[in-house]
């Protein structure tokens, strides 16, 4: 059966990756028939309506999925397609209540034109009542108009689709986890929508263990916990996790969303000094946003020159267990971090486990950062969040380029390394 997915107008390069990941999570046989970043519509083929409902139920970027009844580049061809493709379905909905809607993308119709389009489907043998509120079935005519069609005075859309509503997504969850409503955040807390999308793409699900080595205030473990996974995390600065020790803390965030049962634990450590045992698969997924850029520099535990500051090392032995102790740190190369996190993932992920992390596409000198690779990991997808040039509040209003961050997803080979 063919279905039409209607996406929200956000994060276009993440859409297909999320839907394909959800097909893996739900065990759905998905075939993508047609999709373009320029369109909010994706034509897919699925075995049944029930599997379409399962596919879409936890999606963040999709809005709904429709049973496709017809498609055409003109209204006349749409009607021909409806008769050819969906005639066998008509008897099922003969006596049910229904209503028709028009959904126009990049265009608009007058009220009389919309009514005319709806009335043009008079040949459908529906004898049930028309109900505008809570009908049994909702049929939507989707119109795809050319870009800037309204000011250009374009009269007709480029494409029409007719779909019967099957199921809505979980896009409203974004508002529930909105950072503006969260009790404890920092300047580097990951946006709630992108956290949920990252968790979906990484295949977070009940019975799985997910880990964030740069956990901060817990945005990623919270998102993974929402989908049923048990979240774990560590951070080089324990203060970011502890907060005030009550509601305004990482644990407090889990309590705010009633997800405490899905919090494994958090601890102070960095990627090069971790108590996690290597060489055995532990994590089903690793999700993180390593520190980079102007807000937070990358650091690792240690001192620049131990011979010049032996007192710092001694202080660590005597005060290391005190709750207010802040360990010394030294600069850590971003490229070294990329190498270390791939090695860590290869040594601690289960077979077919996923590493999903954010990284910039270029450094401060506009030099492109190559996509890191590892012999035990394969790249599944690279999603880029595009930024445009913007003015930073710097002296003389210097014009700077915000280097587009990208979400990199790697899958561990299902074999020993």
Question: Residue 66 belongs to a domain with what CATH number?
Answer: 3.30.2130.30
Same domain, 343 and 222: yes
Same domain, 243 and 102: no
Same domain, 161 and 206: no
pLDDT of residue 365: 63
Same domain, 252 and 279: yes
Q: Would 380 be classed as within a structural domain? A: yes
pLDDT of residue 294: 40
pLDDT of residue 295: 43
pLDDT of residue 364: 61
Residue 5: half-sphere exposure toward Cβ, Cα within 13 Å: 32
Same domain, 247 and 341: yes
**Pairwise CA distance, residues 365 & 297, whole Å:** 16
**Pairwise CA distance, residues 315 & 133, whole Å:** 69
**Pairwise CA distance, residues 173 & 177, whole Å:** 7
pTM (2 d.p.): 0.86
pLDDT of residue 108: 86
pLDDT of residue 366: 67
Residue 136: half-sphere exposure toward Cβ, Cα within 13 Å: 12
**Pairwise CA distance, residues 174 & 165, whole Å:** 22
Domain extent at residue 233: 176-298+333-413
CB 68 within 8 A of CB 80: no
Domain boundary, last residue among 147, 170, 193: 170
Q: Would 306 be classed as within a structural domain? A: no
pLDDT along the chain (417 residues), means of 10: 94 94 96 93 96 97 97 95 95 94 90 92 94 94 90 88 97 96 91 95 96 95 97 90 89 96 93 86 92 59 70 71 71 80 92 89 71 88 70 32 59 56
Please tell me the total count of domains within the chain. 2
Same domain, 203 and 149: no
pLDDT of residue 389: 43
Domain boundary, last residue among 125, 141, 170: 170
pLDDT of residue 51: 97
Same domain, 11 and 36: yes
Q: Would 316 be classed as within a structural domain? A: no
pLDDT of residue 298: 67
pLDDT of residue 369: 79
pLDDT of residue 394: 33
Question: Residue 343 belongs to a domain with what CATH number?
Answer: 3.40.50.150
Same domain, 53 and 106: yes
Helices (H), 37-165: 49-56, 75-86, 111-119, 149-152
């Amino acid at each position: 059966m063919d279905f039409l997915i209607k996406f929200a107008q956000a994060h276009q390069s993440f859409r297909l990756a999320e839907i394909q990941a959800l097909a893996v999570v739900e065990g759905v046989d998905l075939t993508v028939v047609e999709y373009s970043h320029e369109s909010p519509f994706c034509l897919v083929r699925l075995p049944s309506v029930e599997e379409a409902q399962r596919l879409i139920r936890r999606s963040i970027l999709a809005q709904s999925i429709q049973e496709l009844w017809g498609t055409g580049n003109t209204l006349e061809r749409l009607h021909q397609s409806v008769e050819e493709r969906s005639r066998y379905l008509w008897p099922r909905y003969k006596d049910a209540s229904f209503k028709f809607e028009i959904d126009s993308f990049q265009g608009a119709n007058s009220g009389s034109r919309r009514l005319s389009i709806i009335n043009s489907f008079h040949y459908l043998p529906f004898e049930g009542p028309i109900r505008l509120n809570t009908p049994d079935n909702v049929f939507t005519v989707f119109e795809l108009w050319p870009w800037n069609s309204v000011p250009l005075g374009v009269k007709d859309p480029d494409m029409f689709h007719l779909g019967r509503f099957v199921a809505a997504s979980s896009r409203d969850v974004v508002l529930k986890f909105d950072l503006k409503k969260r009790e404890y955040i920092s300047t580097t807390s990951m946006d709630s929508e992108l956290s949920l999308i990252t968790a979906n793409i990484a295949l977070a699900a009940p019975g799985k263990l997910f880990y964030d080595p740069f956990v901060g205030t817990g945005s990623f473990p919270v998102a993974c916990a929402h989908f049923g996974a048990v979240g774990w995390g560590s951070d080089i600065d324990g203060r970011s996790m502890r907060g005030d020790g009550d509601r305004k803390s990482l644990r407090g965030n889990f309590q705010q969303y009633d997800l405490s049962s899905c919090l494994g634990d958090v601890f102070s450590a960095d990627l090069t000094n971790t108590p996690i045992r290597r060489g055995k698969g532990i994590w089903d997924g690793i999700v993180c946003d390593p520190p980079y850029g102007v807000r937070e520099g990358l650091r690792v535990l240690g001192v620049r020159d131990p011979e010049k500051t032996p007192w710092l090392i001694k202080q660590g032995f005597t005060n290391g267990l005190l709750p207010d102790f802040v360990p010394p740190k030294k600069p850590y190369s971003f490229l070294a971090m990329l190498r270390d996190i791939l090695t860590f993932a290869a040594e601690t992920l289960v077979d077919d486990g996923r590493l999903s992390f954010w990284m910039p596409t270029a450094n401060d000198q506009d030099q492109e950062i190559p996509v890191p690779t590892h012999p035990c990991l394969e790249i599944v997808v690279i999603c880029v969040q595009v930024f445009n040039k913007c003015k930073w509040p710097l002296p003389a209003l210097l014009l700077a380029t915000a280097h587009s961050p990208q979400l990199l997803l790697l899958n561990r080979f299902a074999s020993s390394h």
